[in-house]
Amino acid sequence: MATPAERAAKTFQSFIEGKKVLIADPGAAARAGLAKALNELGVKMHQIQLAKSYDEASRLIHEHKPHLVLAEFELGKSSGLNLLQEQRSQHADAVKSLFVLVTSNTSQSAVAQAAEEDVDTFVLKPYTLEVLRSAILSAAVAKLQPSEYSRAIEEGKRLLFDGKPKEAMELFEKARKLDSKPALAFFYHGQAQLMQKSLDGAEGDYQQGLNHNKIHYKCMVGLYELLMEKRSFVEAYDVVKRISRYFPANPKRMTQVLRLAVMTKSYEDVERYYQVFTGLDRRDEELIKYICAALVVCGKHYLQTGFQSRALSLFEKAATTGIGRANLLREVIGALLAYELKKEAGEFLAKFPPEIRGGADYLAMEYAIIDADADAAHAVDRGRKILAKDIHDPLVYQILIHRSRQAGVDENADQLAAEAGRRWPDQAASFSSGSHPLQKARK
Amino acid sequence: MSSDGDLINPADFRSLAFEVSLHNDTTNTALQEGKRVYGKKRSDRSDEDLSIRVLELAPTGMVLEVPQSSCSRGHRIQIKLSTLNAPERIEIEALAQVEQWERMENGKERIEVRFLRHDSKLWSDLLAVFSARQQEILDFFHAVKGD
């Protein structure tokens, strides 16, 4: 009578027979070791392709369509995790392929990303052969000989995909009785509820799923998205905070967290998220934009509430993180001038990169700072000189119009307002009013 | 465990790693602190990648990736190993024999070594640390997937 381990080995060997395998690892010795380990599991050496870089692995996946991929997380310019989607693009039925991450990177972000992406299993380096073998065989058995619970869920998912939510719900209800912690069944039941526009029903399902498993990723995300749809931002923020605690590396998630932190006025949280942000391995442009914007909004809040040094600290962080971003510096300088912090505004003006100091953004902010200490005549003269250089910026016009009226040159102010209105029709009202753009902010 | 009874504290996720140095008793050369040592003389060359990586752990030995010309099959080497980021630092010194040797395409060498003399309790402790971390991570991994 075969032992479970022997049966698992046989299952794997039947699965892998005649199929291609890819090992993607920048280390030659690591690739050799994994190939040897697979050979001992019954994989023939001619079935195994080796790749030392992401690009090479991607090419081999498209060429050979491997059913088993062993990938290192760190593959140079791209994460090995991205190969999962490439493999899945070659095998529409995910049940027929296996993806194993074999990596020394056990940082929270790496593990969380792997779980989020639905990798089949995760093996730490250095590994023992026993651990590697056990991980691969367990993943193979789970995929190829799913439990009754998993089968019911997969069948239900197929019905959902076919647009049959009622029939799918029956299967998920059956599945719930087949596992002691059926969070996944609750999640899909919730998805079926959503398809039938029952938001409350879906919310109940996700919550029940989380009662069984507090960190069930799909239930957390499902609940978050539903709360956003219901515009329950405070509750949504609570959920996304929880998600980001375990899945900090997803830049898209971070941007959602930041947006909600600002919307719910959770300004202290923004500073904590900044610390998380500084620890991230990868930061995309959108995330940088969001963190900078959040820091500036928080800074403005602290200026408003009298915490000047805290505001300056946040502005400093924003300027450092969003280095060279003119629009960011404009926001900061504008906020500081609105609170008459001219010296500090000048310090941020100095952060403009030299190569853009001849441009509209820099000249406009320089003008705003000079205007703060100048009399009307001097301010008008300065403004006209900027326009004479063919530099056109709404702020320059707004200040110049206001100062022209102050100087008693109303006809000139009217002409400028008309011209500015033509250039920027959506701001026409602000030009006509002639009020100072930065003094308005303080109110 | 965190206050809300979560499965694992995310702060526990720190990559385990090793600091490794090696002395080849057969050739009287060594790899220490990123430098080659010939007898008592330390090389000043800085253009070589002299890192040593632990690839596999076995009950009575291990597999290492070592710089080229560190050793050969049959050589006896002394290995000093220290864990980094483990719950408790483990330091092991062992005498081992190179059982398998293979040159890789990047010039480095893959060696399989068998211990001739080592502290078996310490080695078991080390294997247990890695095994526990593997299990911890798999538990978290499967919990969040909910499968």
Alpha helix ranges (H) inside A102-232: 108-116, 129-144, 148-161, 165-176, 183-195, 199-212, 217-229
Predicted confidence (pLDDT) per residue in A232-258, tens digit:
999 999 998 888 777 765 666 778 888
Last residue of a domain, one of A206, A240, A274: A240
Together in a domain, A136 and A27: yes
In this structure, what CATH number is given to the domain that contains residue A170?
A: 1.25.40.10
**Looking at the structure, do residues A134 and A10 belong to the same domain, yes or no?**
yes
Residue of chain A minimizing CA distance to B17? A104
Over residues A175-195, mean pLDDT: 95
- What's the pLDDT at A251? 64
What pLDDT score does A144 carry? 86
Instruction: Identify the top-confidence range among A103-117, A277-291, A429-443.
Output: A277-291
What band does B5 get if pLDDT is binned at 50, 70 and 90?
A: very low
- pLDDT-based confidence at A3, cuts 50/70/90? confident
The verdict on A120 and A55 lying in the same domain is yes
Q: Is residue A416 part of a domain?
A: no
The DSSP element (H or E) to which A51 belongs, if any, is strand A48-51
- DSSP letters for A263-325: HTT-HHHHHHHHHHHHT-S---HHHHHHHHHHHHHHHHHHHHTT-HHHHHHHHHHHHHHTTT-
pLDDT value of residue A249? 59
Share of chain B above pLDDT 90, in %: 45
Amino acid at position A205, single letter: D
Instruction: Identify whether the C-beta of residue A26 lies closer than 8 Å to the C-beta of residue B108.
Output: no
Answer whether B99's CB lies under 8 Å from B76's CB: no
The pLDDT of residue A106: 73
What residues of B are in contact with residue A181 (Cβ under 8 Å)?
146
Chain A residue closest to B128 (CA)?
A128
Predicted confidence band at A115 (pLDDT cuts at 50, 70, 90)?
confident
Averaged pLDDT score across all residues of chain B: 84
Q: Tokens 């998993």 appear where?
A: A150
Other CB atoms within a 10 A radius of the CB of residue A358 amount to 10
Which residue did the predictor score with more confidence, B38 or A414? A414
Q: Using an 8 Å CB-CB cutoff, list residues of chain B that contact chain A.
A: 4-7, 10-11, 13-18, 53-59, 62-63, 65, 102, 104-106, 108-110, 127, 130-131, 133-134, 137-138, 140-141, 143-147
- Provide the residue range defining the domain that includes A158: 148-240
Rounded to a whole number of angstroms, the distance from the CA of B106 to the nearest CA of chain A is 7
For residue B24, report the phi and psi dihedrals to the nearest 5 degrees.
-90, 105
Q: Averaged over A119-129, what is the pLDDT?
A: 90
Q: Quick one: A93 and A180 in the same domain? A: no
Q: Which of B17, B62, B143 sits opposite A215 (nearest CB)?
A: B143
Average pLDDT of the residues in A168-190: 95
* pLDDT in the model for residue B6: 42
Give, as one character, the DSSP assignment of residue A374: S
Q: Does A83 have pLDDT greater than 70?
A: yes
Q: Which domains does chain B have, with CATH numbers?
A: 14-145 (2.40.10.220)
Q: Between chains, do B6 and A214 touch, taking CB under 8 Å as contact?
A: yes
Q: For chain A, how many structural domains are there in total?
A: 2
B10–A116 C-beta distance less than 8 A: no
Residue B79 near residue B20 (C-beta atoms within 8 A): yes
Q: Is the pTM of this model over 0.80?
A: no
Please give, rounded to a whole number of angstroms, the shortest distance from the CA of B53 to a CA of chain A: 9
- Give the model's pLDDT for residue A68: 95
Of the candidates B13, B16, B146, which has its C-beta nearest A184's C-beta?
B146
For residue A302, how many C-alpha atoms fall within 13 Å in the half-sphere facing its CB? 21
Residues A92, A57, single domain; the answer is yes
**Own/partner pairs for A169-177, CB < 8 Å, 24+ apart?**
A169/A193, A175/A149
* A30 → closest Cβ in B55, B127, B130: B55
B109-117 and B91-103 strand pairing: antiparallel
Tell me whether residue A135 is in a domain. yes
> Does A155 lie in the same domain as A137?
no
Do A107 and B13 lie within an 8 Å CB cutoff?
A: yes
Q: Are residues A113 and A152 in the same domain?
A: no
Q: Which residues of A304-330 are buried (b: 16+ CB within 10 A; e: fewer)?
A: eeeeeebbbbbbbbbbebbeebbebbb
Contact B109, B118 (CB under 8 A): no
Provide the ipTM. Answer: 0.84
pLDDT at A176 over 90: yes
A172 and A119 together in one domain: no
CB contact under 8 A, A213 and B143: yes
Tell me how far apart the alpha carbons of residues B141 and A8 are, in angstroms, rounded to a whole number: 21
The pairing of beta strand B61-66 with beta strand B53-58: antiparallel
pLDDT, tens digit, 9 for 90 and up, residues A309-359: 999 999 999 999 998 899 999 999 999 999 999 999 999 999 999 999 999
* Count of pairs with CB atoms under 8 A, one residue in A, one in B: 123
Q: Is the preceding omega at residue A126 within 30 degrees of 0, hence cis? A: yes
Residue type, A348: F
Asked if pLDDT for residue A162 goes beyond 80, the answer is yes
Q: Please indicate if any CB of chain B lies within 8 Å of the CB of A275.
A: no
The pair of structure tokens assigned to A349 is 């003006």
Q: How far, in Å, are A305, B31, B44, B45, B113 from residue B37 at the CA level?
A: 63, 6, 9, 11, 21
Residues A52 and A91 in one domain: yes
Q: With pLDDT > 90 as the criterion, what percentage of chain A qualifies? A: 63
| Of A359, A245, A136, the residue nearest B8 (C-alpha) | A245
Q: Which residues of A148-163 are buried (b: 16+ CB within 10 A; e: fewer)?
A: ebbebbebbbebbeee
Smallest Cα–Cα separation from A141: which of A227, A36, A16, A280?
A: A16
Neighbours of A95 (CB within 10 A): 11
C-alpha atoms less than 13 angstroms from C-alpha of B42 in its C-beta half-sphere: 7
- Contacting residues of B for A218, CB less than 8 Å apart: 146
Residue (of A244, A239, A241) closest to A226 by Cα position: A239
Please enumerate in sequence order all residues whose Cβ is within 8 A of that of A43, keeping only pairs 6 or more positions apart, or say none: A16, A21, A68
Q: Is residue A372 assigned to a domain?
A: no
Instruction: Show which of A144, A174, A208 is a domain's final residue.
Output: A144
A174 and A229: one domain?
yes
Give me the mean pLDDT over the B4-14 stretch. 49
* Closest approach of B76 to chain A, Cα-based (Å): 21
Domain annotation covers residue A288: no
| Higher per-residue pLDDT: A129 or A109 | A129
Give domain status of residue A101, yes or no.
Answer: yes
Last residue of a domain, one of A80, A111, A144: A144
* In-domain check, residue A423: no
pLDDT of B66 higher than 90: yes
In a domain, A108, yes or no: yes
The contacts of residue B60 (CB under 8 Å, 6+ apart) are B114, B115
Instruction: For residue A48, give the CATH number of its domain.
Output: 3.40.50.2300
Residue A377 lies in a domain: no
Q: How confident is the model at residue B4 (pLDDT cuts 50, 70, 90)?
A: very low
Give B-chain residues touching A150 at CB under 8 angstroms: 147
Asked if residue A216 and residue A158 are part of one domain, the reply reads yes
The more confident residue out of A407 and A442 is A407
Q: What angle do CA A31, B142, A43 make, to 5 degrees?
A: 30
What are the φ/ψ torsions at residue A354 (nearest 5 degrees)? -55, -35
3-state secondary structure labels for all residues of chain B: CCCCCCCCCHHHCCCCEEEEEEEECCCCEEEECCEEEECCEECCCCCCCCCCEEEEEECCEEEEEECCCCCCCCCEEEEEEEEECCCCCCEEEEEEEEEEEEECCCCCEEEEEEEEECCHHHHHHHHHHHHHHHHHHHHHHHHHHCC
Cα angle: A24, vertex A29, A34; to 5 degrees:
55
A109 and A218, same domain (yes or no): no
Q: Cβ A129–B58 below 8 Å, yes or no? A: yes
pLDDT at B73 over 90: yes
Q: Is the dihedral of CA A194, A198, A204, A208 positive or negative?
A: negative
CB contact under 8 A, A215 and B6: yes
